[in-house]
């Protein structure tokens, strides 16, 4: 009689070959650069801004978000100056993977004009047209995005994009009323 089926040795050989093939393919993938990761990080940031907005209203304290080269940090107005928020477990400093970049763009023209006027008044400007991070020490002192206890928020677009392919990105759109939504670009 002839047995139909595979032997244990044949099954183990197939599993070993699959393991080797997987080990060769996985390193070529860019895990921090995937569209799913971009979406997840954009949605996480949107949820944190909503949480910060609600917390600001309930507790009556002004909050802000400072963007850095590789992430963002929530801040609070405390004792007459902006300080990193340390009393909240959710609104902590977040770092992004190297394969991802972050762009902050103030929303409405009036906000951009106010930032431009502030830059012109300050001789040690924190900003330039080319970026936010020219004077690293000074730039740590004030947030880029303000969440006021009155309920107002700096209208802005925060773009989470692939560092290797700038055409793939998710934008977090923030309105002055505190409404926050995540939008995927149509090109990526």
Taking only the tens place, the pLDDT of each residue in 33-65 is: 477 888 999 999 999 999 999 999 999 999 999
pLDDT for the residue numbered 101:
87
Superfamily of domain 32-184: minor pseudopilin epsh domain (3.55.40.10)
Nearest to 156, CA basis, from 179, 136, 140: 179
Whether the pLDDT of residue 123 is over 70: the answer is no
Q: What distances in angstroms separate CA 94 from CA 70, 73, 74, 83, one per listed residue? A: 8, 6, 9, 16
Say which residues have a Cβ less than 8 Å from residue 184's Cβ, sequence separation at least 6. Answer: 39, 169, 170, 171
Average pLDDT over residues 84-101: 86
For residues 62 and 55, what is the distance between their CA atoms, to the nearest angstrom? 9
Greater pLDDT, 179 or 118: 179
**Torsions phi, psi of 177, nearest 5?**
-80, -10
pLDDT for the residue numbered 130:
40
Average pLDDT over residues 83-97: 87
pLDDT for the residue numbered 31:
54
pTM above the 0.85 mark? no
In the numeric block, which tokens belong to residue 34?
């995937």
Whether the pLDDT of residue 184 is over 70: the answer is yes
Q: Is the dihedral of CA 119, 86, 51, 158 positive or negative?
A: positive
Q: Is the dihedral of CA 158, 162, 165, 171 positive or negative?
A: negative
In the numeric block, which tokens belong to residue 101?
């970049």
pLDDT for the residue numbered 20:
85
For residues 43 and 56, what is the distance between their CA atoms, to the nearest angstrom? 20
pLDDT for the residue numbered 112:
60
Whether the pLDDT of residue 188 is over 90: the answer is no
Average pLDDT over residues 66-78: 90
pLDDT for the residue numbered 174:
94
Report the share of the chain in percent with pLDDT over 70: 76
pLDDT for the residue numbered 19:
83
3-class SS of residue 55: helix
C-beta of residue 94 within 8 angstroms of C-beta of residue 160: no
């Amino acid at each position: 009689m002839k047995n139909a089926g595979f032997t244990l040795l044949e099954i183990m050989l197939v599993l070993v070959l699959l393991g080797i093939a997987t080990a060769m393919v996985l390193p070529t993938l860019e895990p921090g650069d995937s569209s799913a990761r971009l979406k997840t990080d954009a949605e996480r940031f949107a949820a944190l801004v909503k949480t910060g907005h609600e917390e600001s209203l309930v507790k009556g304290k002004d909050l802000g978000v400072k963007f850095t080269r590789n992430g963002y940090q929530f801040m609070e107005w405390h004792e007459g100056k902006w300080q990193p928020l340390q009393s909240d477990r959710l609104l902590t400093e977040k770092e992004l993977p190297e394969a991802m970049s972050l762009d902050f763009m103030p929303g409405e023209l009036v906000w951009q004009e106010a930032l431009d006027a502030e830059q012109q008044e300050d001789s040690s400007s924190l900003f330039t047209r080319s970026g936010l991070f020219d004077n690293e020490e000074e730039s740590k002192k004030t947030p880029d995005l303000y969440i006021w206890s009155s309920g107002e928020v700096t209208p802005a677009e925060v773009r989470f994009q692939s560092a290797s392919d700038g055409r793939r990105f998710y934008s977090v759109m923030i309105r002055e009323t505190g409404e926050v939504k995540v939008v995927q670009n149509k090109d990526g």
